[in-house]
Amino acid sequence: MEMVDTHTPVQNIRRTEKDRSVEWSSGTIILFRFVFVFLMLQAVPLDWKYYRFAFSITWTDLHIRDVFYLAKYTPTFFSSYDPLALPIQSFLDWIILGLIAMAATAIWTYLDKRRKNYNDLYYVLTVVLRYRLAFALAAYAWIKVFPLQQPYPSLSLLNTNYGDLSDWKIVILTYGAGTSYEVLLGFVELLSALLLLHRKSASLGAALVIGFTGNVLLSNLAYNGSESIYCLYLLGMAVAIFANDAYRYYSLLVLVRPTFPNHYRPVFSGQKKQARVFLKSTYIVFVFFLSGYLAYSSFASGPVAYPRAKGLSNTAGLYDVCEFKINGTWLPYSFTDSIRWQNVVFEEWPTISIGVNRKVTPDDLTTEEIFKEDRDRTFEATGSTGRSFYGYEADTINYVLRFKNRNRHYPNDEFTLNYKRLGQDKIKLWGLNQNRDSIQVVLSKVPKIYILNESYELPKNRSVFD
């Protein structure tokens, strides 16, 4: 007689799901121990430098920078890029964490040989990773929703030759020019962070993170960005969260079988339930509402990439260097002269950039940074080899401009020039340059039309020759 299986497919799936959740293989258990220790060391702030930064924050006068760097935390042992920001992680730090995790796994395996599964501990891990990942995503999301991360190109950058910009600077300026796209990316990150906060939608949020952050990782690798390790850090957390439901997605979408959701649910009662609600509510208020307000406040007061102070009034624009004298000798206009200035740009803020046929060692800052003080905002000088960027202080009583190079490779590049307006569109500068040479420069403003700016305004009645 032929044997007939009386179990329905759904019953078989239920039994299979139950069996898989009851007992893990020995290899899975060992792998989980390693991943648990490694990711917990990454996610939980145990690094003293993190607390040094946290205690340096003026909590009664928060800035989006403060929340951004708290969210951007990664444990570091070797690397430190800038004293004004938290250190940036390197693969050497990962090796140290991996060795610690391996040692902890060996000890854990020796002390706990009879364990069949770590369902409860896996839940704890996913909770820590979900909230840690949501914090990081929200911080980056808000500075995109209120376009702060990738600023709109300045006049100097619009007048810099394409080949004089680094690959990463071109990418950032491209995003900055497409403000609507930047805002859209911010909402995608914000949606991912919100999905991570709910246990039932966490795996969907993690899947969005894998797709989104994976693309950011490829951009960093392709265009020489410095956030590759941080992207891998976020991806590792997202993969660990998504793995909890990966088999179910495979069963449902690939095998096209009826699939039960994850029925694991922690039980909270009494004070534990109240504490959970309080902590989660506090977290949501801080991460989403407070950080969103701080990002909006910074956006409303001006871009964080450029100085907020005002430059000389009625001066901003591109200027042609129509006259140039050095040590009493007039130099004719030349594309090849490494001494004569070719053109000058005055920004709305106190920055002047000078175009000279002289190679500039670029300030290679290829990470997203937010600085409070104008003197630290060097974005416009980074990734550019074709222009020299100077911040200036204007003495409008004595008609004196004091210049200081914004590029950190030129800390001693400072000089002072007198200035005089020769009509509405001409400026005369004279004095001693950074090499103590006597110079005299006459600048003539160029009525240049920027097509990128035109695309954001109402069409104007111009011919193709204007």
Q: How do residues 40-92 score in pLDDT, each as one tens digit?
A: 999 998 888 888 888 888 888 888 988 998 898 888 877 654 545 566 677 88
Give the Cα separation of 91 and 234 in Å (integer): 14
Do 413 and 357 fall into the same domain?
Answer: yes
Map tokens 């401009």 to a residue: 401
Do 157 and 48 fall into the same domain?
Answer: yes
For residue 390, the cross-strand partners are 352, 405
Residue 307 lies in a domain: no
Under 8 Å between Cβ of 318 and 345 = yes
Give the Cα separation of 120 and 113 in Å (integer): 17
Domain count, the chain: 2
Residue 326 lies in a domain: yes
Do 360 and 240 fall into the same domain?
Answer: no
Give the Cα separation of 30 and 32 in Å (integer): 5
Residue 310 lies in a domain: no
Question: The domain spanning residue 389 has which CATH number?
Answer: 2.40.128.280
- 181-203 pLDDT, tens digit per residue, is 999 999 999 999 999 998 888 99
Of the residues 241, 275, 300, the one at which a domain ends: 300
Residue 461 lies in a domain: no
Do 285 and 333 fall into the same domain?
Answer: no
Q: Which tokens belong to 52?
A: 């040094």
pLDDT per position in the chain (466 positions), as tens? 333 344 444 444 444 444 445 678 888 899 999 999 999 999 998 888 888 888 888 888 888 988 998 898 888 877 654 545 566 677 888 899 999 999 999 999 988 878 888 888 898 899 999 999 999 999 999 999 999 888 889 999 999 988 899 899 999 999 888 888 999 999 999 999 999 998 888 999 999 999 999 999 999 899 988 888 899 999 999 999 999 888 888 888 888 888 777 766 777 667 777 777 788 888 888 888 889 999 999 998 888 889 999 999 889 999 999 999 999 899 998 888 889 999 999 999 999 999 998 888 888 777 788 888 888 888 888 888 889 999 999 999 999 999 999 988 888 999 999 999 998 899 999 999 988 999 999 999 999 888 877 765 555 555 444 4
Terminal Cα-to-Cα distance of the chain (whole angstroms): 93
Of the residues 249, 273, 300, the one at which a domain ends: 300
Residue 62 lies in a domain: yes
Res 409: pLDDT:
87
Percent of the chain at pLDDT exceeding 70: 88
DSSP assignment string, 54-98? HHHS-GGG--HHHHHHHHT----SS----TTSPPPP-HHHHHHHH
Do 243 and 345 fall into the same domain?
Answer: no
Residue 172 lies in a domain: yes
Of the residues 252, 268, 300, the one at which a domain ends: 300
Do 323 and 239 fall into the same domain?
Answer: no
Tell me the HSE value of 438 on the side-chain side, using a 13 A CA sphere: 4
Res 8: pLDDT:
41
- Domain extent at residue 378: 317-454
Do 96 and 216 fall into the same domain?
Answer: yes
Do 336 and 262 fall into the same domain?
Answer: no
Do 335 and 214 fall into the same domain?
Answer: no
Residue 174 lies in a domain: yes
Res 11: pLDDT:
43
275: left (phi over 0), alpha (psi -120 to 50) or beta: alpha
Under 8 Å between Cβ of 340 and 321 = yes
For residue 166, the cross-strand partners are none
Residue 399 is classified by DSSP as T
Do 380 and 281 fall into the same domain?
Answer: no
Do 239 and 328 fall into the same domain?
Answer: no
Residue 36 lies in a domain: yes
Do 239 and 378 fall into the same domain?
Answer: no
